Chains A and B, each alone.
Chain A
């Protein structure tokens, strides 16, 4: 069983990623 702390951190990171991706902060140009 994974620890809840790890799950929470992973979720926070996912939420941040979605938010930044949605706001257009990430990406922009190609690789």
Chain B
């Protein structure tokens, strides 16, 4: 992803130790889906030299199907990347890549058929195209991940809450761009990074959802609304005090998230201690030697 210049030696660049925000990795396979979309132009162009309205219509439909295959597959790749990035994830509701394969098949079948005569040959070519598509792009993730051994209902809640929280973060990152202030963008990106670390922690242990819920919901929502207001106001006024106030809010949030994460880890530790204590008591009562 491109990023504007900035850093230590740039005007109003960060001084000293601000760590660079982690960027989202580029989507794997995007180039190939774009090629697929570009290829859909060929049947559209040749459609006009088919010498008949049926051929024209079929070739146009073929172009549409192949373009659709590219778009749907790209969405499928996005969904797969999101699935792979999370420790706890439901499988995508719609198998998009599979639909993409079907659309490729239909597209090729229509392009080959060229009227109704070649329909049987077209179907065969279509099947080959669908098979190649599946080989090229792979299947969709078909199973839920990280759902074993934990309460399904609870994990579901975690997945849903984090999805919402991600939405708030995205909206924030989007809104702050309107402020046209690099520093603010960096700060929001850093907050996003911190928040995402917390998401992963909650995914690791769904019991943390209840204590972390405020941060995932109300606070992030508030931060998003504040960001929208800040961006609008700051874009007009360039008021330094507004910026300082906004940064103070972000600071508070970041600090809050940090402490919350620490307390979450401490509760985990206490839980473990209790488990160990109980088991050791039991062993002692049963007369087994323990190292004390």
Contact = CB atoms under 8 A, between A and B. Distances in A.
Interface of A: 2, 6-8, 10-11, 13-15, 17-19, 21-24, 26-31
A21 B118 contact: no
A1 B45 CA distance: 37
Q: How large is the interface on B (under 10, 10 to 19, 20 to 34, 35 or more residues)?
A: 35 or more
Contacts of A7: 135-138
Contacts of B66: 18
B108 A11 contact: no
B13 to A, nearest CB: 39
A29 B120 CA distance: 10
B122 interface: yes
A5 B75 CA distance: 23
A2 B120 CA distance: 31
A28 B40 CA distance: 19
B125 A23 contact: no
A27 B114 CA distance: 8
Contacts of A10: 132-133, 135-136
A27 B46 contact: no
A24 B4 CA distance: 46
B35 A26 contact: no
Given A27-B114, A30-B120, A17 B135 contact: no
Contacts of B68: none
**Interface-central residue, A13, A17, A27, A29, by most chain B CB under 10 Å:** A27
B39 interface: yes
Contacts of B108: 17-18, 21
6 contacts: A2-B135, A11-B35, A15-B39, A18-B42, A21-B125, A30-B119
Secondary structure of the A side of the interface?
helix
B83 to A, nearest CB: 15
B112 interface: yes
B218 interface: no
A22 B132 contact: no
B148 interface: no
Contacts of B192: none
Contact of A14 (B40, B112, B122, B129): B129
A27 B112 contact: yes
Contacts of B46: 22-24
A26 to B, nearest CB: 5
Nearest to B124: A31
Interface string B124-162: 010011001101111000000000000000000000000
Nearest to A31: B120
B292 interface: no
Given A10-B135, A11-B32, A17 B128 contact: yes
Contact of A15 (B36, B117, B122): B36
B76 interface: no
A22 B62 contact: yes
